Amino acid sequence: MKKILVFAFVITSLFGLVSCAGGYVAQRPAEVVVTRPPMPGPGYVWVDGGYAYQHGKYVQRPGRWVAPRPGKTYQNGQWKQTNKGYKWQKGRWHK
C-alpha cells in the first residue's frame, strides 16, 4: 500500500511539473538590449535569449553562440498572442 501511495505522489508531482512548463501572461516582458560577446569561431550562429516560465512568471534566459547545424537555419523564439494572453514560443532549428 505504501508503494502505491508513493507512486501516486510521484505521478501527481510529474503532472504538476508538466502543467507548469509554460503559461500565459497578460503582458509580455519588456525587451532587453543585449550586447553579444565576440563570435567564438567562424560560422557560429547567435541564438537570442528566450524566456522560461517559472513560479507564475517568465524569466529571461541569456543568448549564446552555437555551432551551426549544416542545412538548417535557426528561428528565434517569439511571443504569441492568444485569447488567454501572451505565451512564449521557444526558438528552434528548421531545415
Q: Looking up cell 505504501, which residue turns up?
A: 2
Q: What is the pLDDT of residue 22?
A: 66
Q: Which range marks the domain in which residue 33 is found?
A: 24-94
Query: Is 87 contained in some domain?
Result: yes
**67 lies in some domain:** yes
- Which residues of the chain fall below pLDDT 70? 1-22
Q: Is residue 16 part of a domain?
A: no
The Cα 50–Cα 69 span in angstroms is 20
Q: What is the pLDDT of residue 67?
A: 94
Q: How many angstroms separate the Cα of 24 from the Cα of each of 8, 53, 78?
A: 28, 9, 13
Amino acid at 25: V
Please classify residue 58 by burial: count the beta carbons closer than 10 Å to its beta carbon, then call 0-12 exposed, 13-18 middle and 19+ buried.
buried
Q: Total structural domains in the chain?
A: 1
Flag whether 5 is in a domain: no
Q: What is the identity of the amino acid at 70?
A: P
* Residue 15 forms part of a structural domain: no
pTM (2 d.p.)? 0.66
Report yes or no on 9 lying in a domain.
no
